[in-house]
Structure 1
Amino acid sequence: MKKNKTLILGIGNYLMGDEGVGVHIASRMELEELPATVDILDGGTGGFHLLGFFELYHHVILIDATLDGNPPGTIRLIKPKFAGDFPPAMSTHDIGLKDLVSALHLLDQMPEIDLFVISIASVQQQGIELSPNIERIVPSVIDEIKCLLGKRHRMPGKHQLTCLS
């Protein structure tokens, strides 16, 4: 049975610099004041082990890095419904998320998904720190997520924000 809740799910490899931006943002979201109807999860590098989480929630906000050719730090909000709706160059776990979405459709368990993708320059970077370009946009992504939540969950003070969505 699905919870009438939202899951914020950060995807990425924390040890690969900018590729881990999704998990960095999920970690920082844990410090924010959020409605009780919102859960946060560090999804690591994604894959089928996340299937159960998608089946539990009506709404999932994904945050992930992408190698899409846009300038590093570009933030986009995508509302994918099918595997083909994901950017063509999601970072190192591209196949896992696309396969996961296909499986959710086959199981008729597809939640509403909002996908925040952050353009990065490469996945070759090693280390737990984000580059300055990516670190600089993290507060903006958090604000966009809170804005989206404000629209869905009637968070006080968030209705006046203009979101990407």
Structure 2
Amino acid sequence: MRGVGRRGVTVIACVGNPLAGDDGLGCVVARLLSALRLPEGVEVVEIGVGGLDLLDAIRGASRAIVVDAVRGGEPGRLVRVEWRGPVALEGGPDGDGLGVAEALSLGYSAFPEEMPRHLVLLGIVGQRFRGEGLSCPVVRALPTLLHVLLEELLDYPS
């Protein structure tokens, strides 16, 4: 478990499956970020799916930015949500295993003192979630997502 002694760290958790179309967004963002010189104290973590691996990646960090593809809405639209704590969810997660929202709700309910004080979800609405590669609307929105993500890093008070 990573949760101990990471205060002052910002984790960018990039969630995605490159074999599921636009769901591979997080993998692409992680690779793009690895080519940049990010501020000290920033960790980029690539996570195949949400769930417990996501919780392990962000526990103990002061803040986290979770990057993931979004279903529903206009393909290519940027989505930014500040996490405000556990949410009541109806039914189970979509797809296999524990999704991002379910995992975050579980983490903030079970061990709130170990979860980031500030968490932002950043995503792009996907067009297709099968096959390899990102759809054109998601590729076109990537520069905007990266710009917003980098501003998020720079604008947050230390």
**Cα distance 1:27–1:83, how it changes in 2: closer, same or farther (>3 A)?**
farther
Contact 2:127–2:135 under 8 Å retained in 1: no
Q: Deviations over 1:80-133 (max 9, x none)?
A: 2234389xxx8746843233223322212221211012111232x201x21111
Share of identical aligned residues, percent? 23
2:120 maps to amino acid: D
* TM-score in terms of structure 1 length: 0.79
CA distance in 1, matches of 2:97, 2:88: 12
Q: CA RMSD in A?
A: 2.4
1:55 maps to amino acid: R
Matches within 5 A, 1:1-165: 1-68=5-72, 70-84=73-87, 92=95, 95-105=98-108, 106-108=110-112, 109-111=114-116, 112-123=118-129, 125-127=130-132, 129-152=133-156
Gaps of 5+ in 1: 155-165
Contact 1:19–1:91 under 8 Å retained in 2: no
2:47 maps to amino acid: G
Secondary structure of the 2:122 match is: strand
CA distance in 1, matches of 2:23, 2:8: 30
CA distance in 2, matches of 1:45, 1:20: 10
* TM-score in terms of structure 2 length: 0.82
Secondary structure of the 1:84 match is: coil
1:19 Cα deviation from its structure 2 partner: 1.2
1:126 maps to amino acid: G
Contact 2:54–2:100 under 8 Å retained in 1: no
Gaps of 5+ in 2: none
Secondary structure of the 1:3 match is: coil
Aligned residues: 149
